[in-house]
Amino acid sequence: MATFGKRLRECRDAKHLSQQDIAKKMNTSYTVIGKYERDEMIPSIEVAKTLAKLLDTTVGYLLGEAKQADTFKDPAMLKRLNEITHLPDNDKEHILYTIDHLLASVKTKLAYK
């Protein structure tokens, strides 16, 4: 299982940022970022939130609670999902049913290309 440090490094590399780049944006030393990546130090919740925001991921991903780094990266998609969450159950069920069928349709279309 990937650790916080490994996930942090993976996200940093994906953004083509150095430890120095992240350190400058966080007003800290690159050695601190290195210690996070080597799991020698654990950041505070606030630092983890800042890191996630800088790397366009979630704290949940960095902590290993989400399997993919990009699951909730898209703010517009996240906003839509949050809106669906607050709807009455019947409406939510209809929307999710529609989404499931649209996804199945697209997957079928892609399979026959």
Question: Angle between the 19-26 and 30-37 helix axes, to the nearest 10 degrees?
Answer: 120
Return the domain boundaries, the chain.
4-62, 75-111
DSSP secondary structure string, 24-81?
A: HHHTS-HHHHHHHHTTSS---HHHHHHHHHHTTS-HHHHTTSSS-TTTT--HHHHHHH
Global pTM?
0.63
Q: For each of the chain's 113 residues, which pLDDT tens digit applies?
A: 689 999 999 999 988 999 999 999 999 999 999 999 999 999 999 999 999 999 988 888 888 886 665 555 666 777 788 788 889 999 999 999 999 999 999 999 999 88
Question: Which CATH number applies to 4-62: 1.10.275.10, 1.10.260.40, 1.10.150.120, 1.10.10.60?
Answer: 1.10.260.40
